[in-house]
Amino acid sequence: MDYPASVPGVGLVGGKFVDEDAGTGQVGSLIPAAWGNAVTDEILSVIQAAGLDPDEGDVTQLLAAITAFLRGRVVLGGTTTGAAPSFALALAPALAAYAEGVRLRVKFHAAGSGADVLNVNGLGNKSIKQYDAAGTKQAAVIAAGLVADVEYDGVDFVVLDALAPGAIQGAFSNLKLSAAGTGPSIAVSYDDLVLGNGSGGYVSEHNVAGTITTTTVGAGGLDAGVLAASTWYSIWRIGKADGARNWLFSLSATSPTMPAGYTLKARIGWFRTDSTANKYPLSFIQSGRSVRYKPAAGSNLTLTPQMASGVAGTIGTTLVAAAVGAFVPPTASIIKLQTYTGGGGAVQVNSSSVASITGTTGFDNTVPTGATPSVQGELMLESTNIYWASNFASSAIYCSGWEDNL
């Protein structure tokens, strides 16, 4: 749309309309009906497209219509106030009503709680959602300082930044743990670790080193109850949405009792308490999924733990069960063994009760007379038992460690 300069005799001066001036003899400009109607129709089309009813006395409708269009395409925004899970946002000019397609640029001043709502200009709370990599709408993951495009879809405010795809809760690199067996401390370090909230929200940590103290209860220690002797405890890294992090250990392999405000977690290992009143973690060393008992003088583990000894079953015919529960944690997938027997003796071990020496997944240790060697091997665990046989009184099997199914 432009001034009707192409209309003969329209009387534009300097390209614009002028009024008639009898004192100077200035002839007033003509406004052709076609041009006047075109201008009015163009303005009306904008006003009506915004859902407004044209009002001859309202000279603000064109601006209101343009503002409505801009709100639907991300221009308005601001920083939230309030406290999670209830965020508030004051826009200027104020939003008149929630409408599908309204898009805002929002900076969240604080971390969310996992079930957050947003109230814009007092229009009421609307849940804040986010789509995961599979296209499922779920509670948004909001970190303090997050700046995001947020669009109202007619039901919820949706954070348009999708959740990161492909994250795996508990994924790690260069994970290491150890306990000396002389006190209540466990050393932990890793280059990377992914914590998850179980609802598609993930947070990565980098270059962490710290110490877990088993005398603590709550965040940084035991999740609930009283520490027991000769008991397995899972080890966790836990976190809050606001960035706070801590350690936790628990009897549960999957669902520790989380301290208030903590929603993120990743299991990183296990420890077993000794049988004394101290209940210190047994001496061990872990690298990634691989864990070894670490016998040491002066510690609570001076020898590799013995699982069974003496004569048992019949080599190649009958195997006897040996329970693994006191030697490896519930999530162990592989048990690491050492067998010993005297000269002329034999030891056979297997992951099942199948006694045939050939064609099985186990291994045997047959020793000629006069020799007393030991043999190391691994078994994939099929149950809470392994099976063995021995024909020599001094024979024994020992557990040197395990591989954790992290």
CB–CB of 179/140 below 8 Å? no
Look at the block and give the residue holding tokens 């303005």. Answer: 43
Tally of CB atoms within 10 A around 73: 11
CB–CB of 305/398 below 8 Å? yes
Mean pLDDT of the chain: 87
pLDDT over 60 at 75, yes or no = no
* CA nearest neighbour of 67 among 39, 38, 99, 42: 99
1 band by pLDDT with thresholds 50, 70 and 90: very low
User: Any idea how long the chain is?
Assistant: 406
Task: State whether residue 19 is helix, strand or coil.
Answer: coil
Segments of 197-250 assigned E as strands: 202-213, 232-239, 245-250
pLDDT over 70 at 82, yes or no = yes
CB–CB of 212/284 below 8 Å? no
What is the per-residue pLDDT for 198? 83
The predicted-structure confidence for 131-149, as pLDDT tens digits, reads as follows: 876 677 888 888 889 899 9
**What are the Cα distances from residue 50, in Å, to 39, 71, 92, 332, 367?**
17, 11, 19, 63, 91
Amino acid at 338: Q
User: CA 74, 137, 156 angle in degrees (round to 5)?
Assistant: 50
Amino acid at 180: A
The predicted-structure confidence for 147-162, as pLDDT tens digits, reads as follows: 999 999 999 999 997 6
What is the per-residue pLDDT for 74? 45
What is the per-residue pLDDT for 72? 56
Question: To the nearest 10°, the Cα dihedral for 60, 61, 63, 65?
Answer: 160
| Average pLDDT estimate for 319-346 | 93
CB–CB of 152/99 below 8 Å? yes
46-50, 124-128, 326-330: least confident range: 46-50
Give dist(CA 27, CA 19) in Å, integer: 7
